[in-house]
Amino acid sequence: MLTKGKRTTKWLETTIPLVLNPGTMKQLYLRKAQAKILAFAQQLLRYKQQVNSALQFHHLVYKQFKYLGIQSQVQEAVQRRVYAAKRAKTFHHFPMEFNFPRSGNLTLSERGNAIVKISPLKKRIALPIVMNGGWRRVEEHRKGGWVAHSCKVFKRKQSWVMHLIMRKALPPPQEVEGTIGVDIGRKIMAAITVNHPSFPLVEQYLGKDLAWKQHQFYNRRKTLQKYAAQGDRRARRALKRLRRKETNYVQTRCAQLAHEIVDLAVISRSAIVLENLKHLRRMWTKQAMKRKKGGKKTRRSLNRWSYSLFHSTLTRVAHLNNIPVVFVRPHYTSQTCSHCGKRSKKSRKTRDVFSCIYCGFTVNADHNASRNLALLGQVALGLPFFNAYHSFLPVPCERRTLCSSVS
């Protein structure tokens, strides 16, 4: 979600892939423009070490490379993308980015066909858009208040593709009465708990099949790679078909889970509470995992964990339905008892079971964490404290310590 001005207008973005159908001469022009932009990006890599900020980088290279004939907005987009690629040493391909209406425009031709006008170099060209299901999605979004904001044009295999980015202004989120704690895990994607004073207690496990299906994809890919290395053509063709299957499955499944949670939030008039998970992959580097038993296998499993995709998908779907999303610090949510509020590492008996050493309360560890997240969300939103798992309780001292970590 983006903000504009003095945080008065909030925007939601979505990306719609479209297929372009340029003629022979326009394809030559696009190849020429893409080659020039790629060469420009390669040159910019040499200047990254000389500056400490994006503004310094812009002042250093903008006037120096203006002679190349690249449209100014496209040049700025390349500069931003190169500076953001911190670890990149080279680029094998580079998309062309255009902002509407400065360097591009989405319109209809005189015959009523969809076209996009872009200016990669000084000359502006019109590219026909294939009016398939993707274009129908664009028309549906326009009816729903979405506006075309920018696009990225690149070549995929033998065809030219455009990713159209559309924006929509969001109304303020609705008032809520309760919270839904969502604990994201590796084996179970989401363990949810509804904490609401007038809504029945709901606790669910969602996405049990996701990790298992990803493991199946991994085993299949491993077997095919073994045969492909021996020169088997059938295995190579099967690897090509498998290339996008896992990505499509994970994206679809994450969207389904997000809609299930948001539908429950709409019915119960509750806010969604998530852990503020950032920079997790820094803990899964080869050097860090070498010191742990089964490090390679564990790192492979963790890298398949699509927590970031699920986070962003759930946030987007919630904002579309005017449901507020609260991010809290995840510290000690898995070690704190949701029944008495006391914290101890020894309470985590196994990976799946939480048994409090103070009050003897035993529950699934993921559900215990989701309950704590729901309680933290109440504090963050300023709602009356209510614990659906143990009647009405005052906030214990340990719980106050935990609630003070709300971000």
Q: What gap in Å lies between CA 400 and CA 383, rounded to an integer?
A: 15
At 407, is the secondary structure helix, strand, or coil?
coil
Contact 98, 118 (CB under 8 A): yes
Q: What gap in Å lies between CA 97 and CA 37, rounded to an integer?
A: 10
Q: Cβ of 76: how many Cβ atoms within 10 Å?
A: 16
Closest C-alpha to 134, from 176, 164, 178, 172: 164
pTM comes to 0.75
Contact 201, 389 (CB under 8 A): yes
Q: In sequence order, what DSSP letters do the residues of 111-160 get, joined into one string?
A: TS-EEEEE-SSSS-EEEEB--SHHHHHHHHHHHTT-EEEEEEEEEETTEE
| Domain boundaries of the chain, sorted by first residue | 2-170, 178-403
What is the full per-residue pLDDT of the chain (407 aa) written as tens digits? 444 333 456 788 889 999 999 999 999 999 999 999 999 999 888 888 888 888 888 888 888 888 888 888 888 999 999 898 877 888 888 899 999 988 889 999 888 899 999 998 888 899 999 999 999 999 999 998 899 999 999 998 889 999 999 998 887 778 888 899 999 888 888 888 888 888 777 788 888 888 888 889 889 999 999 999 998 999 999 988 887 888 889 999 999 999 999 999 999 899 999 988 776 666 656 555 555 655 666 667 677 778 888 888 999 899 888 899 999 988 888 888 888 888 888 888 787 888 888 888 888 888 888 888 988 888 888 887 776 665 434 333 333 334 433 33
